[in-house]
Structure formats: C-alpha cells, structure tokens
Amino acid sequence: MKVLLIDISRCNGCFNCQIACKDEHVDNDWSPYAKPQPDMGHFWMRVNEIERGVVPKVKVSYVPKPCMQCEDPPCEKAATDGAVYRRKDGIVIIDPEKSKGKKKIIESCPYGCIYWNEEFQIPQKCTFCAHLLDQGWKEPRCVEACCTGALIFGEYDELKKIINERKAEILNPEFGLKTKVYYIGLPKRFIAGTVLSKDTSEPLEGAKITLRNLSTQKILSTRVDNYGDFEFEGLEINGNFTLLIENPGYQKKVIEPIYTEKDIYLGEIILLPE
C-alpha cells in the first residue's frame, strides 16, 4: 500500500513540490489517470503557510497537502459508473472520461483536494503520479523535487517503523477516512513569554518555569534563557494550563488559566524581589 510521509520540521517552504506537480501535469495528458492540469487555480500538491503567534513571537509552518488517498474515499461513494476507483496499491483515481460533468465529486472531499477543470468539465486531483509509478519510478515528482527530505514515499510496510517511532499523524482523524498521507510534527500550540526583574529590568536568566496541564496533570518545565525568553512547544490544542515562575530572591508568580485555543505569547512578565 503506497503512503506519503511528510515531516513538517524539515519543510522550509521552498514550494518545489508544488512547482514540480505543475511541471508534471500542466499541458501534459496522462490518461487514463489524468487530463492536463490547468495553468491556474489547481494545486494538486498545495503548500499551506500557517502563521502562528503574535509579534514579537511569530512562527511559520509549512504544511504540504496532496490528496489524502483515503482508504474509504467519499469521492468514490459520490461518483457513479466507476468514475472514481481505488487501485490495488491504494491510489485513488478519478477517471477523466467517466467523471465528465460530475461536479458533486468535488463537494464530497472534506479536505478540499479536488478541483474542477472548466475546459474538460471534469474533477481532478493528485494521482501520486501513478503514470510514473507504472513506468518504474519509485516516487512521485513532488517527492523527487523535495530538497530537504521532508517528503518520503513508499510502501506502508517499509515506512511503518518511522510512522510509529515519530508518532506520525493524519489530518482530521475525526473524518474516519483512514488516509494514506502521514504527518510528523503537525503544528500544535505554544506558550511563550519573557521574564524580567522589576528592580533591574534585566532578563532573569535561569528562572524556572513549570507548566501544568490541568486536564491531564502532565507537568513540563524549562528555564529562562539569556534573553529572558521561555517557550513550551507542541502543546495540546484547546488545553487548559497553569504556569509557575520561580527564581531565588524573587516572589513566585502564577499565571492561570491559560487556554490554548490559539498560540499564546504572555508578553513581559515582571518578577518582584522578595
């Protein structure tokens, strides 16, 4: 079963994968898998840029998003007359002849990965470059073009060890579609701040920061760096936390509750001398 593993921590937003997809499919007819992709409007491999936090604590993550190649594809259920089918290797194909005029196939995809080709009057999407795989290629063009190793393609049995060890996830597991695109390091939430001394206005390097998840009681700790900054990354979305700041010679400070419906920058936190 073919799968794609995407390591977000290695993606630098070069968009090579997105461009390679265009290069392979625009003006090229790869029937019976795909008619030519339009010049504009289609992103069978789309790199989403996600901005997180607020100034001065801002992060950017890049999340490549092809067709998820669902094990139970809703597009197949929405199609008729075999217009959508799943190959033995797990790749989902929209037949460019049988799907003509069937716009409802687009509406069936909860991930928004299917596009309408106005010229040919057909729905289209990523095919994992099935035409190349049939010719003996080991990977789709997007994977070949990735210069950082963020995209890894292969058989599930070959990659399952990495998937399990790196705790890879799928997008929107609540959809229950058993997708074949796995992600390492999907953006979660962070809590960050800057700790300063009231009497000197200097960073309190080494101050201990303790973060407690009030739902799970899990405790994380870190130290303030020489710039006065601290950060907890990879936190639960919509979590409820309490933060304790301690430093010898200063009064303890507790900040609660902290809700991570979004990324949190607490700003400058001033500790008072004892």
Strands 189-197 and 264-271: parallel
Residue 12: how many other CB atoms lie within 10 Å: 12
**What mean pLDDT comes out for the span 219-228?**
98
Residue 140 scores a pLDDT above 90: yes
Q: Own/partner pairs for 247-252, CB < 8 Å, 24+ apart? A: 247/195, 247/204, 247/206, 247/207, 247/208, 247/271, 249/273, 249/274, 250/197, 250/204, 250/207, 250/274
- Tell me, what's the pLDDT at 141? 99
Q: Is the pTM of this model over 0.85?
A: yes
Of 86, 119, 125, 78, the closest CA to residue 102 belongs to 78
- Tell me, what's the pLDDT at 75? 98
**Span(s) in the chain for CATH 3.30.70.20:** 2-184
- Tell me, what's the pLDDT at 80? 85
Q: Exposed e or buried b for every residue in 160-182, given b needs 16+ CB within 10 A?
A: eeebeeeebebbeeeeebebbbb
**Span(s) in the chain for CATH 2.60.40.10:** 189-268
Task: Return mean pLDDT, the chain.
Answer: 97
Give residue-wise pLDDT tens across range 108-125: 999 999 999 999 999 999
The fold for domain 189-268 equals Immunoglobulin-like (2.60.40)
What's the distance, Cα to Cα, between the start and end of the chain in Å? 63
**What mean pLDDT comes out for the span 32-59?**
96
* Residue 100: pLDDT band with limits 50, 70, 90: very high
The span from the CA of 100 to the CA of 180, in Å, is: 26
Percent of the chain scoring above 90 in pLDDT: 99
CATH architecture of the region 2-184: 2-Layer Sandwich (3.30)
What's the sign of the alpha-carbon dihedral 222, 228, 233, 235? positive
Residue 13 vs residues 105, 190, 226: alpha-carbon distances, Å: 30, 21, 30
The number of CA neighbours under 13 Å toward the Cβ of 147 is: 8
Give the tokens for residue 170: 């799928």
Residue 116: how many other CB atoms lie within 10 Å: 16
Of 194, 212, 208, the closest CA to residue 266 belongs to 194
Q: Which 3 state secondary structure label does DSSP give 165? A: helix
The span from the CA of 40 to the CA of 61, in Å, is: 24
